[in-house]
């Protein structure tokens, strides 16, 4: 075979023919003429997710208030059911997972429950590359304790502005740290942190550790229970394809069962006690204790349909195709875009690379707008980042090839120059 055969459209089409997951593309709503490369911001709607939403609406229509205990999926137990379906994706026991709240709410719950500043241990360790909502939440929690975030929030520095050195994180695990909050996958560069190693090092020093899995769940395998991770939290609208505002998830290692929730609400009650209406909370014996208010059922319903696909395929097969697609995209970028000033800023090592490609270019905002004009949906990250996520369940190798060809044409013809190099309101 010609050593440059991978540069051809025919090669990409052959990869699609050989793809064992190709039938799942038919499960999603793909808009004609559009190549969607933004699944790491918002996953596409699947027919199963749509169906499970309609079924939830139908149960309301059919049963009214009795939907809490009747129908295919009684509402009273729906959060636990989704937790059970999510558990295999993160390597957790079903009772350690609950689908509830939002990313930020669940982080607040973790910190308010388990951050107990005492004596010398009064600090929280995070990093400077974390998603802003996590940092906002951590600063506000420190403020609640009367602690100055400038002094008590440690943010590990990045040497290159894209990735973190795990040795630097470990060196920052000093004896004044009570809690660590890190991302499983960094949202910009897609770097995977070694969660097992960092957990082991934290526990050696008597520190609790939590991971934000927003950019890792549904994209890479995890073994949280085996690794001994204390807590994790995530959104469900990116790789899990649960829809905009989908209900998020929370993992609490069984070692921490029995803790009184820092932010208590009636849905954290033991199921058999909840409707006794007592003013003394009897918490659920598992992760369900960390729920607060009534579940947002219409925002949780699509996740059920989506999770059936993940359970059917298995995260290992999804990960394998994701790695193959991102490797293919990087090869094409290296060959076709080498003269146009792009920098591949995501890790190239498979053990460190998440589910998306991260390119940097000084004209990134303009280039993203030009891509949209060419029917390709990317994701811009200020100041000069372009994220492209070929998703295993619905993107094709030909779409990867066409995306790189579009970038080449945009740059060669200078199409990007017709746009302002400034982000839109929502980037």
CATH number where 352 lies: 3.90.1150.10
One domain, residues 292 and 319: no
Report if residue 41 sits inside a domain: no
In contact, 119 and 90? CB cutoff 8 Å: no
**Residue 167 burial (10 A CB sphere; 0-12, 13-18, 19+):** exposed
One domain, residues 325 and 307: no
In contact, 161 and 382? CB cutoff 8 Å: no
Last residue of a domain, one of 255, 285, 313: 313
Report if residue 401 sits inside a domain: yes
One domain, residues 167 and 257: yes
One domain, residues 319 and 305: no
CA nearest to 393, candidates 314, 311, 325, 318? 318
One domain, residues 227 and 237: yes
Residue list for the binding site for pyridoxal 5'-phosphate: 103-104, 131-134, 212, 215, 237, 266, 294
CATH classification at residue 198: 3.40.640.10
Report if residue 44 sits inside a domain: no
CA nearest to 163, candidates 333, 360, 334, 341? 360
Q: What is the pLDDT of residue 283?
A: 97
**What is the tally of structural domains in the chain?**
2
Last residue of a domain, one of 248, 278, 313: 313
Report if residue 384 sits inside a domain: yes
In contact, 270 and 278? CB cutoff 8 Å: no
Q: What is the pLDDT of residue 420?
A: 85
Cα–Cα separations (whole angstroms), residue 285 to 107, 214, 412: 20, 26, 61
Residue corresponding to tokens 């559009």:
34
What distance in Å separates the CA atoms of residue 86 and residue 74, rounded to the nearest whole number?
Answer: 18
In contact, 398 and 9? CB cutoff 8 Å: yes
One domain, residues 230 and 149: yes
pLDDT digits (tens), the chain, 427 positions: 588 999 999 999 999 999 999 999 999 999 999 999 999 999 999 999 999 999 999 999 999 999 999 999 999 999 999 999 999 999 999 999 999 999 999 999 999 999 999 999 999 999 999 999 999 999 999 999 999 999 999 999 999 999 999 999 999 999 999 999 999 999 999 999 999 999 999 999 999 999 999 999 999 999 999 999 999 999 999 999 999 999 999 999 999 999 999 999 999 999 999 999 999 999 999 999 999 999 999 999 999 999 999 999 999 999 999 999 999 999 999 999 999 999 999 999 999 999 999 999 999 999 999 999 999 999 999 999 999 999 999 999 999 999 999 999 999 999 999 998 887 877 7
Report if residue 45 sits inside a domain: no
What distance in Å separates the CA atoms of residue 79 and residue 274, rounded to the nearest whole number?
Answer: 15
Report if residue 42 sits inside a domain: no
pTM: 0.97
Cα–Cα separations (whole angstroms), residue 189 to 118, 162, 261: 35, 6, 34
Q: What is the pLDDT of residue 3?
A: 85
One domain, residues 236 and 376: no
Q: What is the pLDDT of residue 1?
A: 58
Per-residue exposure over 310-335, b if at least 16 CB sit within 10 Å of its own CB, e if not? beebebeebbebbbbbbebbbebbee
One domain, residues 279 and 358: no
Beta-sheet pairing, 231-234 with 249-252:
antiparallel
| Phi, then psi, of 41 in degrees rounded to 5 | -110, -45
| Phi, then psi, of 221 in degrees rounded to 5 | -75, 155
What distance in Å separates the CA atoms of residue 104 and residue 137, rounded to the nearest whole number?
Answer: 7
Report if residue 143 sits inside a domain: yes
Last residue of a domain, one of 253, 281, 313: 313
One domain, residues 172 and 319: no
What distance in Å separates the CA atoms of residue 285 and residue 257, rounded to the nearest whole number?
Answer: 6
One domain, residues 307 and 318: no
One domain, residues 247 and 280: yes
One domain, residues 124 and 249: yes
Supply 247's token pair.
């209900």
Q: Which residues form the domain of 207?
A: 50-313
Report if residue 109 sits inside a domain: yes
Cβ count near 272 (within 10 Å): 9
Q: What is the pLDDT of residue 424?
A: 81
Residue list for the binding site: 103-104, 131-134, 212, 215, 237, 266, 294
């Amino acid at each position: 075979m010609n050593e440059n055969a991978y540069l051809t459209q025919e090669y990409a089409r052959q990869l699609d023919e050989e793809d064992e997951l190709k039938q799942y593309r038919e499960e999603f709503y793909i808009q004609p003429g559009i190549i969607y490369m933004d699944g790491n911001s918002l996953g596409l709607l699947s027919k199963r997710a749509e169906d499970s939403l309609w079924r939830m609406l139908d149960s309301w229509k059919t049963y009214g208030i009795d939907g809490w205990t009747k129908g295919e999926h009684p509402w009273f137990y729906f959060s636990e059911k989704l937790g059970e379906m999510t558990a295999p994706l993160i390597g957790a026991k079903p009772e350690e997972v609950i689908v509830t709240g939002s990313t930020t709410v669940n982080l607040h719950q973790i910190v308010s429950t388990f951050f107990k500043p005492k004596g010398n241990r009064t600090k929280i360790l995070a990093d400077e590359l974390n998603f802003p909502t996590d940092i906002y939440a951590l600063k506000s929690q420190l403020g609640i304790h009367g602690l100055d975030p400038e002094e008590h929030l440690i943010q590990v520095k990045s040497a290159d502005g894209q990735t973190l050195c795990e040795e630097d994180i470990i060196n920052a695990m000093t004896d004044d740290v009570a809690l660590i909050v890190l991302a499983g996958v960094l949202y910009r560069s897609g770097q995977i942190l070694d969660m097992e190693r960092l957990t082991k090092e934290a526990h050696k020093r008597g520190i609790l550790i939590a991971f934000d899995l927003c950019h890792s769940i549904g994209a890479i395998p995890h073994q949280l229970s085996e690794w001994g991770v204390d807590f994790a939290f995530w959104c469900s609208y990116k790789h899990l394809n649960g829809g905009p505002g989908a209900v998020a998830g929370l993992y609490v290692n069984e070692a921490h069962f029995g803790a009184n929730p820092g932010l208590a609400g009636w849905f954290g009650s033991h199921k058999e006690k909840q409707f006794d209406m007592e003013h003394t909370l009897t918490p659920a014996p598992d992760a369900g204790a960390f729920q607060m208010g009534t579940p947002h059922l219409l925002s949780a319903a699509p996740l059920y349909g989506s999770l059936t696909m993940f359970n059917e395929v298995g995260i290992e097969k999804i990960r394998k195709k994701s790695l193959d697609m991102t490797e293919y995209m990087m090869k094409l970028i290296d060959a076709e875009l080498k003269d146009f000033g792009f920098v591949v800023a995501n890790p190239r090592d498979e053990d460190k690379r998440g589910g998306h490609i991260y390119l940097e270019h000084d004209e990134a905002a303009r280039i993203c707008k030009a891509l949209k004009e060419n029917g390709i949906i990317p994701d811009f990250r200020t100041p000069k980042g372009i994220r492209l996520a070929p998703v295993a369940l619905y993107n094709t190798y030909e779409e990867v090839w066409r995306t790189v060809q579009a970038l080449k044409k945009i740059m060669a013809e200078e199409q990007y120059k017709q746009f302002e190099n400034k982000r839109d309101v929502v980037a």
